[in-house]
Amino acid sequence: MPEPDRDLNRKAIAQALADLADTDSLILVEVAADGITTFLLHRDDNGRPRGRSWSVTWPGLAGERGWDADPAGTREAVLRATRASSSSADVILVAESSADPRVEQALAWLRAAHPASQVLRAGAPIAARIREVIADDPLTRSYELVVLVDPGTGRPRLTSRQLFPLGSRPGARTRVALRCEAAGAHGTAFAVVTWQGPEPRLLSVQSAPVIPGRYEVTAELVRPGRVRFTGLPALSPDPRDWNQLVAALPDRLARGTGPAHLVCAVEVCGADDQVAERLSRARQMISSASGGLGDLLRVSLLAYAAHSYDPSAPEFPVRVAAWEAGAGEALNALGALEEQGVVTRGYPYHPHAAQLEDMLAVVVERLGRADPTPAVILTVGGRPPHPARTDQSRILPCPHRHDWRKLSAALQQRQGTVLGAICDQPADQAHQAWHRIGAAALAHLEAVDVRGLAADLGLVAPSPVHLPFPLLDETE
C-alpha cells in the first residue's frame, strides 16, 4: 500500500507536469538534510518531458565561515542555487523531514521568494517520484508513423498513420498492416513523428533490412519518446535526420511489367515540324515499350486533327491506323502517317482546338470494359479539346457533343488503365485537359525523357527503386 505523503506528492508533481505548456518550465526544489537539489523540467519539441538537476551542499552554500556567520549572504546563496528566476516557471518546494534547522530556514527563504509555490513534505528523496511521473506522463501530442501510400499514379505519397492519440499512456498498443519494399543501405526506416503546425517533428527513427513483403506490426508506447515495434526484424537506431530521409524518397514506385496495350493517339494538324516531332516521339515510345515487353506488347495507333465548321470543307475524322497490332505493324502504320504529314483537309479548320474529345470517344468505345489487359493511353499533341456545349472558353462546341471530361474520367475508372501525355507546351502552360489526359505522367514535347516516361507509365522496368519508409497496406 503506498504511503499517503508519497502518493500525494506523486499526484501533485504529475498534475504540475500535465499543466506544463510547451514554452514553460517546472522547477522542483528539494530541501534536505544534506543540502538543496533543484530539478528543472520542460517539454521538448515533441511535447516529451525532459529534465535535469543540480545539487549544492550546505557547506557549499554557507562557505567556510558557516551557516550563521552571514545570514543574508547565505539566503542569497540559497536563492541563487535554485536558479528559479524565470517568470514562466512554476515552482514546487519539497521539504524532506529533518530535525536540521537549516532545512526549515532555507524553506522559509524560498517560500518568501516564491509565494505562489506549492510546498510538499517528503520522507525520502523526491527524485524517484519525478522519474515515475515522467515515465507515466500521458502524451500531449499524438504519435504517428511515417508511411507511404500508392495513390495509383505510380508516384509515392508521403503521409502518416496515427499510432497513439493524445492522452495515451505507456503500455498502449496498436496494430498496423504495412508492406515493405526493397530499401537502400540503411534499410526500411520506421520513423515516428509528432505534428506542430504544417511540418512534422521527428521523434525517433529505427531501421532494419526488412525482406520485402507484408507485415502485421504492433507498436507499443514504452514511455514518452520511446516506441517499440514487434513483428519485424530487430531494429536499430537510424542516424538520418528528417531531410535526409525525405531526400531518399524516389520520384516513382517500382512497377512490374507484363502484357500491356499501348494506345498512341497523335495530333496531326498544325505546323509541319511540330507534327513531325509528335510522330517521332510516338515512334520512340513504341520502340522503347517494345524493347521492354517484346511480344507482350500490343499497340494501337490513332491520328486526329481539327474540326471543320465549314460545310464545304469536310473534316478529317479520327483515324484508327492500327488496333491491338504488334509493335512492328504499328510502326509501319506510323511510317504511313509520317509520309502523309500534316492534315490540311477541312481547312480552314478551327485554329484553337482539336478533335481530342472525338479521339477519346473512339478509344472508350473500342476498349470497353471487358478486356482485362492493362492499357496505357498516350496522347501526343498540344491543342485543347472542344467543349460539349458553349462555355466561357469561346471554343466552338464539339459537333458530336462529346464531353472530354466524362470520357477521360471513364478511362481513368477502367481497371488497369493509365493515362499519359506528351504536350507541345510545358506543364505550367498546358490546358487543364492535358493534365487530365496526362494524369499519370505529363511530359513536354521538346524535353521528353522517353525511358523515364515509359517507366512512369509501366511500359518498361524502371531502375531499381528503394523506398526509405514502409507502404501502408490498404488491402483490408
pLDDT digits (tens, 9 = 90+) for 142-200: 999 999 998 766 678 899 999 999 999 999 999 999 998 877 788 999 999 998 878 89
Residue type, 49: P
- 445 lies in a domain? yes
| 165 and 284 assigned to the same domain | no
Q: How many domains does the chain have?
A: 3
Whether the CB-CB separation of 51 and 41 falls below 8 Å is answered with: yes
The model carries a pTM of 0.57
Read off the CATH number of the domain in which 82 is found.
Answer: 3.30.420
Q: Which domain holds residue 266?
A: 260-457
Where does the pLDDT of residue 463 fall: very low under 50, low under 70, confident under 90, or very high at 90 and above?
A: low
Say whether pLDDT at 1 is over 50: no
> Which of these three, 255, 280, 308, is where a domain ends?
255
Q: Are residues 35 and 131 in the same domain?
A: yes
86 & 192 share domain: no
Question: Domain ends where: 218, 238, 255?
Answer: 255
pLDDT digits (tens, 9 = 90+) for 66-115: 777 788 888 888 888 887 665 557 888 898 877 788 888 999 999 998 88
- Domain end point (choices 221, 255, 289): 255
464 within a domain of the structure (yes/no)? no
The mean per-residue pLDDT over the stretch 305-318 comes to 87
Q: Report if residue 163 sits inside a domain.
A: yes
Same structural domain for residues 320 and 444? Answer: yes
- The pLDDT of residue 196 is 80
In a domain, 468, yes or no: no
Torsion angle defined by CA atoms of residues 444, 450, 455 and 459, in that order, rounded to the nearest 10 degrees: 110
Contact, 256 vs 182, CB < 8 A?
no
Strand positions, DSSP E, 17-108: 25-32, 35-43, 49-57, 89-96
Does 404 lie in the same domain as 283? yes
d(CA 267, CA 343): 9
pLDDT digits (tens, 9 = 90+) for 231-247: 999 999 999 999 999 99
> Residue 37: its pLDDT value, please?
92
Residue 470 lies in a domain: no
Instruction: For residue 264, tell me if it sits in a domain.
Output: yes
Residues 66 and 110 in one domain: yes
Q: Are residues 218 and 303 in the same domain?
A: no
Query: Do 273 and 396 sit in the same domain of this protein?
Result: yes
- Same-domain check for residues 204 and 132: no
Residue 462 lies in a domain: no
Helices (H), 368-423: 404-413
pLDDT given for residue 77 in this prediction = 87
- Whether 320 and 210 share a structural domain: no
Give domain status of residue 265, yes or no: yes
More confident residue, 124 or 470: 470
Tell me: the pLDDT tens digits for 405-451? 999 999 998 888 999 999 999 999 999 999 999 999 999 999 999 98
pLDDT band at 475 (very low <50, low <70, confident <90, very high): low
What are the CA-CA distances from residue 91 to residues 28, 32, 58, 254, 452 (Å)? Answer: 6, 17, 21, 57, 62
The answer to whether residues 319 and 413 belong to one domain is: yes
